[in-house]
Structure 1
Amino acid sequence: MKKITYIFSLLVLFVFGSCKKFLEVQPQQQVDQQQAIINAGTAATAVNGLFNLLGANGYYGSNFPALSYLSAGDIQWSGSQGDPNEITKHLTSATNGYVQSAWTAIYRTIAQANYIIDKVPGVADPLLTTAVKNQYLGEAYFVRALAYFDLARGWGGVQLILKPTYASTDNAGIPRSSLNDTYAQVLKDLNTAETLVPTGVNRNRITLRTVQALKARFYLYQKNWALAEQFATAVIGDNANYSLVTPYSAFFANNAVTTNESVLELAYTTSNTNGHSNWWLPPALGGRREWSPNDALVALLNNPAVGGNRNALIAQTAPPGNLWYGKLYYRNPLGTDPAYVIRISELYLIRSEARAYQGNLVGANSAQSDLNAVRTRAGVGATTATTLPEFLTALENERQVEFPFEADRWFNLVRTDRAQTVLALPDKHLYLFPIPYNETLVDPQLAGNNRNPGY
């Protein structure tokens, strides 16, 4: 992975994990990058390992979403670990364990994708059919696109590692790319994935609709409103397979999995768990409650005119504690909750914003109708927005209560250049996370003036 050797990366995780238990990485069923992909079985194992890395605690299993929702102003630190406290106060340092863990996990995921892209085409096994080969390659290209998309929105332009690392000298000396070039690589990988993945429905793996959904998000970030609308419509229009489930809690309550709400959710088991519930649930329910919804968010979710039935996201402990906590991640055994990467409600809000910017504000098939679809599912009244500024405010507010415990609000506020105003940030350099200190020590391309400004 990158130019840092695999052994060094494991050492970093060990050092951080030994003193900060929240950085522990779960055992992963993955093929080591030095083990050959030689047949259909080892190829399948490698791809399973890729999804385990995508869902690892450093990535979507906990720490990467946590960087977003801890930064977004609605979640308060309520535990003992210092690193989340830094993030909630926008005092994140280059030595922050969450930053290091997320960065490392994302590049490990990229390394596995690179390995699959490099090796699968050369495998000669009649059991590894062309269709299955294409599926595996398409999934690797998609996951790499998602990983670079997340690096771009979190850290800006980054080093583009596009080949496997077999020795410490491989991929050495690669400079940071610009943000535009990083996003260009994302699009290139998505375009490739789109031609390879199957067209069926699989909410835990990558299909055509998954690619189209991430393209809609990508084009929203690029302010390409027409294409954002086009790709959002492609997914929403498949309403036999993707729809807003009712009530809001139906996509996660009562141990629900892979409902029509999910475009991509990551599955976990007792042997491959994630860390979300541990950090959200109170000790009485087996967690640590390191963070929790603050009073302002609790008020919004409990307001029938704002949160509606989305108040199912929170609960309160019994007296005398009366502590509010998030309950999106709650399952028993702990850590077996899905991680939600893309939900259909996001596609409605993407399309609403894209239509608003194109002047299609009210009426049927408009920004208004898309926003109202999400609001109606939540049990709240129709929007009163009629102008573009009103719609942009309404969409910002809707995302706040629709995705408060997912990797959305912070990145959305940064994308719209609203984070400084909404969160009273002293400087916009805080829009990006710092390059981890350990990376700057071992890689001259990330040191000195190559660091993100202000850190």
Structure 2
Amino acid sequence: MKNKILYIAAFTCAITAGCKKQLDQTPISTSTTATFFASNSDFIQATNAVYADLRTYPDRMLNLSETRSDNSYAVADGPRDWEPINNFARSISANAYVIEAWNTNFNGIYRANTLLDKLVTNASAITDPTLKTRLTAEARFLRAFMYFDLVRWFGKVPIINKVVSVNESLTIPRSPVSDVYNFIIDDLKFAADNLPDVYSAAADKGRATKFAAKGILALVYMTRSGPTYNIEGPGLGTNDWQTALGLLNEIIASGKYSFLSSFANIFSYTNEGNAEVVFDINYSTGSNPVVGGTFPWLLVPDLYFTSIGKPVQGGLLIRPVSNNLVSSYAAGDVRKDFTIFTQGFTATGGGSEVRPFFKKYLDITKVPTNRLDWPINYIVMRYTDVLMLKAECILKGASGTQAEVDAIVNQVRTRAGLTTPVSGTTLPQLMEERRREFAAEGLRWHDLVRSGLVTTVMPAWIAVDDIQKSIQPFQNNYVIYPIPQSELNAAPGLYTQNAGY
């Protein structure tokens, strides 16, 4: 596997020391910063360390979005952290997945703030002013990316735009969602204006580009434009659809990306960084310490690996795909068999399974000995997503025609092997097409929330698919997650728990 930008260990060790908790923004020691930030390469390594906190982003999308949605019926055969996520349990403020989402993002924000501080105070150590501007833009892109992740999961969060002490962190309240968005948008606009279109050096593949920033910024505007649900969540009803459309059109007009003719080739282990990829998280394998991907096996039961004679991965039970999703694919849709394993299997030594599970990122010829070292990148945003987001903006009132929407949907369906064209595509129909296209990519929950369909789709799905009657009735409060209890305990009275938990 080629050398990637993520997980440069030297700076990661130095910069992590001051971040035991998400708000423990203690600066690394004077001696450490004085000796480390002394050259161009030091600042590059520091930037790589910020990227490193994206490592678990794919896992988070599968655990908190895919599992929460109607794509999965994740009622466990034994106690597992994902079951209360699936079931809309109220008592999940101590859930490991919820805590990880908060802590990892704030750890990355801490690293980004440290880097941004040193880019100013140690500016003379960088001999290339163009590099300084680019690294500043990368840090601000990553900080915005992490804040966007936080606001979608938790709603209001504290805005920390500099390195602060532990005592200072215990006085910073959660900011209104509108303020968090303004902060995110300011960072992403700077990134879009100052990042390069592409990177020529192989060592820089996977870094954020101008168009990655524009794509995430478009999604920010769209998410902010979603309904409020009368909670302090990610939707503010701001009607930014036209602004988002302009950014998406810039990506399309750039000519940097294209629509692959083969659905499977988008995810091929030998076709990483293909023309579909607008932004992805890069992994390096064979390193010590291990820094490969962990997401390909996350939704796959270990019995399946033993049934094909491969090493056990995570010790996981099955997290089944919902019957509703499986049956939504039309006959001949190639995406179904590529995305979902439906044949059933019997494991060597006993044990069998007939329920379907996701296998989109699974290549059984690439199963590593170490389950933490999968050699595949995770695509955060791809060109098909850009096209379908454009269709969504048009349906939400941005400039464009029904014919444009239908053309995008038919392009996607044709690649999937469906030859009968559709017309008059509605928003619910577009979201169902997105559901089939992006299943197992972690987008479904956010799609439902942003579109306003979550309040109708989830109750209807629960009524039919919840055969064990284990899922709590849906309520608007469940659009976001609770603040981790550990954060409430760290500074009693500073935060108020999200309603419904």
Alpha-carbon spacing, 1:339–1:123, altered in 2? closer, same or farther (3 Å): same
Q: Give 3-state SS (helix, strand or coil) of 1:292's partner.
A: coil
Alpha-carbon shift at residue 80 of structure 1 (Å):
3.8
- 1:56-90 deviation per Cα after TM superposition (whole angstroms, max 9, x unaligned): x3xx1412442011111211324544220001111
What is the TM-score when the length of structure 2 is the normalising length? 0.77
**Residue number in structure 1 paired with 2:176:** 178
Secondary structure of the equivalent of 2:426? helix
Alignment of 1:367-378 (within 5 A): 367-378=405-416
CA distance in 2, matches of 1:225, 1:103: 28
CA shift in 2, pair 1:198/1:48, >3 Å? same
Counterpart of 1:52? 52
Partner of 2:188: 190
Q: How many residues align?
A: 418
Cα offsets for 1:246-295 (capped at 9, x unmatched): 21111113543111111111111232023212322232423334423122
1:13-52 aligned at under 5 Å gives the runs: 33-34=28-29, 35-36=32-33, 37-52=37-52
1:337 is matched with: 376
Q: Which amino acid aligns with 1:294?
A: S
Q: Report SS of the residue matched to 2:220.
A: helix
Counterpart contact for 1:439–1:446, Cα < 8 Å: no
Say whether residues 1:229 and 2:227 are aligned partners.
no
Are the counterparts in 1 of residues 448 and 454 from structure 2 also a CA contact under 8 Å?
Answer: yes
What amino acid does structure 2 have at the position aligned with 1:260? A
Q: 2: distance between equivalents of 1:323 and 1:111?
A: 42
**In structure 2, how many angstroms separate the alpha carbons of the residues matched to 1:176 and 1:381?**
50
Q: Distance in 2 between matches of 1:205 and 1:79?
A: 40
> What's the offset of the Cα at 1:136?
1.0
Whole-Å separation in 1 of the counterparts to 2:125 and 2:158: 37
Judged with a 3 Å threshold, the aligned counterparts in structure 2 of structure 1 residues 295 and 199 are, in CA distance, closer, same or farther, namely same
Secondary structure in structure 2 of the residue aligned to 1:429: helix
1:132-162, Cα deviation, whole Å (9 max, x unpaired):
1111111110111111111111111211011
Q: Over residues 167-199 of structure 1, what are the superposed CA-to-partner deviations in whole Å (9 max), with x where a residue is unaligned?
A: 312333112111111111110111111222112
Per-residue Cα deviation, 1:309-331 (whole angstroms, up to 9, x for no partner): 34311224435534422122324
Distance of 1:446 and 1:256 partners within structure 2: 48
2:491 corresponds in structure 1 to 443
| Structure 1 residues 446 and 72, CA gap change in structure 2 (3 angstroms) | farther
Tell me the distance in 2 between the aligned counterparts of 1:164 and 1:236. Answer: 37
Amino acid in structure 2 at the alignment position of 1:375? R
Runs of 4+ in 1 over 6 A off after TM superposition: none
The CA distance in 1 between the partners of 2:420 and 2:134, in whole Å, is 41
Shift of the alpha carbon at 1:342? Answer: 1.0
Distance 1:5 1:156, change over 3 A: farther
- Do the aligned partners of residues 415 and 124 (structure 1) sit closer, same or farther apart at CA in structure 2, a change above 3 Å counting? closer
* Cα deviation, residue 236, structure 1: 1.7
Residue identity (%) = 24
Letter in 1 for 2:345: A
Are 2:161 and 1:162 equivalent residues in the alignment? yes
Residue 352 of structure 1: which of 391, 399, 402 is its match? 391
| Corresponding letter in the other structure for 1:267 | N
Which runs of no fewer than 5 residues in structure 1 stay unpaired?
13-31
Amino acid at match of 1:355: I
8 A contact 1:248–1:310 mirrored in 2: no
The equivalences for 1:274-313 within 5 A come to 274-283=293-302, 284-285=304-305, 286-287=312-313, 288-301=316-329, 303-304=330-331, 307-313=333-339
CA 443–336 in structure 1, closer or farther in 2 if over 3 Å, else same: farther
- In structure 2, the residue matched to 1:28 is none
* Displacement after TM superposition at 1:7 (Å): 5.5
Give distance in 2, aligned partners of 1:380 and 1:155.
38
1:131 aligns with 2:116: no
Q: 1:76 aligns with which of 57, 64, 73?
A: 73
Structure 1 contact 279–289 (Cα < 8 Å) conserved? no
The answer to whether structure 1 residue 250 and structure 2 residue 265 are counterparts is yes
Q: CA RMSD in A?
A: 2.5
From 306, 311, 314, give the equivalent of 2:340.
Answer: 314
Distance in 2 separating the partners of 1:369 and 1:194: 28
d(CA) in 1 for partners of 2:328 and 2:182? Answer: 38
Residue in structure 1 matched with residue 465 of structure 2 by the alignment? none
Amino acid at match of 2:375: T
Q: What is the identity, as a one-letter code, of the residue corresponding to 2:21? A: S
Letter in 2 for 1:440: L
User: Contact (CA 8 Å) 2:61, 2:441: kept in 1 or not?
Assistant: no
1:155/1:71 CA distance change after superposition, 3 Å: same
Query: Which residue number corresponds to residue 325 of structure 1?
Result: 357
Query: Aligned partners of 1:336 and 1:194: how far apart in 2?
Result: 29
Distance 2:247 2:353 in 1: 47
Measured against aligned partners, the alpha-carbon deviations of 1:344-403 in whole angstroms (never above 9, x if no partner) come to 11111111111222363333xx222222222222222465342xxx52011110111111
Q: Give the letter for the 1:268 counterpart.
A: Y
Give the Cα separation in 1 of the matches to 2:159 and 2:354.
Answer: 48
Contact (CA 8 Å) 2:157, 2:175: kept in 1 or not? yes
After superposition, the Cα gap between the structure-2 partners of 1:64 and 1:105, relative to the gap in structure 1 and judged at 3 Å, is farther
Q: Using the alignment, how far apart are the partners of 1:391 and 1:308 within structure 2?
A: 23
Q: Which residue of the partner structure matches residue 19 of structure 1?
A: none
Corresponding residue SS for 1:340: strand
CA shift in 2, pair 1:224/1:358, >3 Å: same
- Taking structure 1 as reference, are residues 359 and 118 closer, same or farther at Cα in structure 2, changes over 3 Å only? closer
Structure 2 distance, partners of 1:392, 1:359, is 15
What amino acid sits opposite 1:62 in the alignment?
Answer: D
CA distance in structure 2 between the partners assigned to 1:6 and 1:124 by the alignment = 22
Deviation of the 1:109 alpha carbon:
0.9
TM-score normalised by the chain length of structure 1: 0.85
What SS does structure 2 have at the residue aligned with 1:71?
coil
- How far, CA to CA, are the matches of 1:258 and 1:312 in structure 2? 19
Answer yes or no: is the 8 Å Cα contact 2:61–2:443 preserved in 1: no
The one-letter amino acid paired with 1:205 is R
Whichever of the two has the greater Rg, that structure is 2
Distance change >3 Å, CA 190–CA 295, structure 1 → 2: same
Shift, 1:233, TM fit: 1.1
**Amino acid of the structure 2 residue aligned with 1:231:** L
Secondary structure in 2 aligned to 1:263? strand
C-alpha distance in structure 1 between counterparts of 2:488 and 2:318, whole Å: 29
Residue 17 of structure 1 aligns with which residue?
A: none
In the aligned structure 2, how far is the partner of 1:137 from the partner of 1:361? 39
